[in-house]
Structure 1
């Protein structure tokens, strides 16, 4: 099949072009490609499907499980132009999470390995095609915070590492001195100094071992000044600010780390934009609305690409940079062969229509019963999505195509 008459996002701008697809792969990119079957993309912008480096789908291993299913969150992903999600699984019993997605996901899927220390199981998982480790400096699930020695033991073995960087010693001290209260206490208990101080330590190790280290969900503009690191931004840290925690329903907006503001003008500093998607419905959030029993996490997987494309257009920034942040760079970090309109890459492609404006309304989305971005204006919509070369989204109609497990190459 050949996608014809498209405007393709390139590093030089929008260019007329055609894309040939065979056996789920992109086989040619150019002009005047001859073939029997054609798909007319006239009036639409062609770009690689999004790669979301940070999602928590059907998460059932913490105190409060998310309210979604694999099917629901991956359908929302596809409607938002994301064709690959990267979730998490523990190094022990790693494939239990992988198997949960098999035959159920409507997008392709890959995994980071959660590990706070080096073990031989990491080597086996890496050989199986999962090369990135998620490291926590706070307690997570039943694991204590990882320390710098633990991180060094992983880095010296050559792993790429994604770090949740907060100083738990400082946070736990502050929590112990605060009583029960509203969501504004969550912000006070996790000051930006907690992230900055931890990122400084991690930066030293990253440079010492010449390692690829990504700071997850960066919340402070000061963190972006620290050398030797990669930086992941999220919608909530870019577009929300501390005023949301002062609202009567401030508990809805709680994330860890919290939204601090000051990030909207720093978007170009990020290497990638992810969601840290956690689908909690309003009722679940309301059942845990007092500090320190708040439930962090927001449903955002459907909005990442539309919100970021809108941001780039309104700011007059090149769309290519948005494609780098939303597709190319997260794919490269995970060493997976998708996220680019390039010969030999998986034919995960979206066709975007910039001619429509709409207002975000939770009732019209495919995730949760609320959204933190109610009322935001969006420019354009995903009209069509191809997954492994198959048309999976046809002008708003889900066609039932299932995704596959992608391994590092």
Structure 2
């Protein structure tokens, strides 16, 4: 683990932080959005905000794939399990996300539905092979990182003519969401800490047009604390110089073009949707993937005639506003009281990549320390 430890060196972190303090212009605000739940957790876990000058604000974005999935899509997954009686395979984070009528996939399983936690699309394929008389549906969720394995599953199902297997596609696209946030403008962002795992697939090239069109720098960044601090320094430098470039801090894993083989199999099996609903962002044009016509036999939406009508989140939950960068977890009145990891009201508290879960697990202790130091009760 020495290689990882090199990127968690406290002395180097303080040196980079000192350079950030020296670079930050006094009185100037730098609002930087991290577009990845892994970055959100790294920032909270290592207390990186405490190393930054007060003018630099790290804003949580819609980088949690479970969090951005709207209630209506979870309702459709529950419909598959309860009404169509399929064996529904999904990643663990999705099980406890609240849906409408106080339901969740976890509660559907308790009511007798066959809902199974899997670690990959390959697990779902194996179940379909083992149970040829039972319809098995894999809930494909996530950004560009998790789409290629779903594509591989579709290709395998076609090759094997595995007619009892299908995919409920909820795969979404990062650049489209970034454009949507910038076009909306209400988050008032100055730059992006670009996602790392996503960028291993798509490369850095897709961000260049965004940086150019909106004059906002993007720095693709690794997950470790030194990665994030270096990215902040790179962004501050760009902003001070009036530049809006796409830079790659995560050169040990990310290239300009990304993984061309992964891109090819995704293009073979998926096509762009005209629009897709995101929690907090609403309908985002060209932001998600549908299964192509040659694979329609393995498309759960077509096979089971699913339709999703928009459903509002719980009024007390501010998850949607957090995903837009409009507020922080602690701005939500139910954070840490009615809404905890044990009793979540929203997806941001459920998912392992959610901003509320990160703040509850790590950063809330910093809040307590700060309130004691200042004598504040808030």
If the length of structure 2 is used for normalisation, what is the TM-score?
0.28
Higher share of residues assigned helix: 2
If the length of structure 1 is used for normalisation, what is the TM-score?
0.27
Higher share of residues assigned strand: 1
